[in-house]
Amino acid sequence: MFICNSFRPAAEIKWYGFNDGYALSKKKKKLMLIDVYTDWCGWCKRMDRDTYMFGEVVEFVNKDFIAIKFNPELQATYNYEGKQLNGMELRNFLGDNKITGYPATIFAHPKTNKRKLIIGYRNPDQMKAELSGAVAELSSKK
């Protein structure tokens, strides 16, 4: 019996924890895509399953971003711009105190600290548009 699993991409997004991903983005001078999630969030799990497994999204993220998974509810210490922050402090700082739900996605430039926040689930087409917009907005010299 032949079973075709056409829904799995040839590649997957390479996810990092916050501290490693932030250091790598600074080193490589690549934008960060920070997926702010919680373990109890159903829409976060759906976005992982539907959006972040979609081939074109995978290619776009791996090409132009350092992808970071960040759960602000974990007991951990995060290093950002010489400061040590807990998860909620980092979430509030990166999201400019505007994160009102999950999933939240933060696009950030490691050198200029310019950031763009989107809140809520995005399907693959919506996410491709968000990725494109983030590259255009955060990579510009303005």
Query: CB–CB of 78/84 below 8 Å?
Result: yes
- DSSP letter (8 states) at residue 10: S
- How many other CB atoms are there within 10 angstroms of residue 131's CB atom? 22
Q: Which domains does the chain have, with CATH numbers?
A: 15-137 (3.40.30.10)
Average pLDDT estimate for 11-36: 96
Q: Encode pLDDT of 27-74 as tens digits.
A: 999 999 999 999 999 999 999 999 999 999 999 999 999 999 999 999
Tokens representing 7? 């829904």
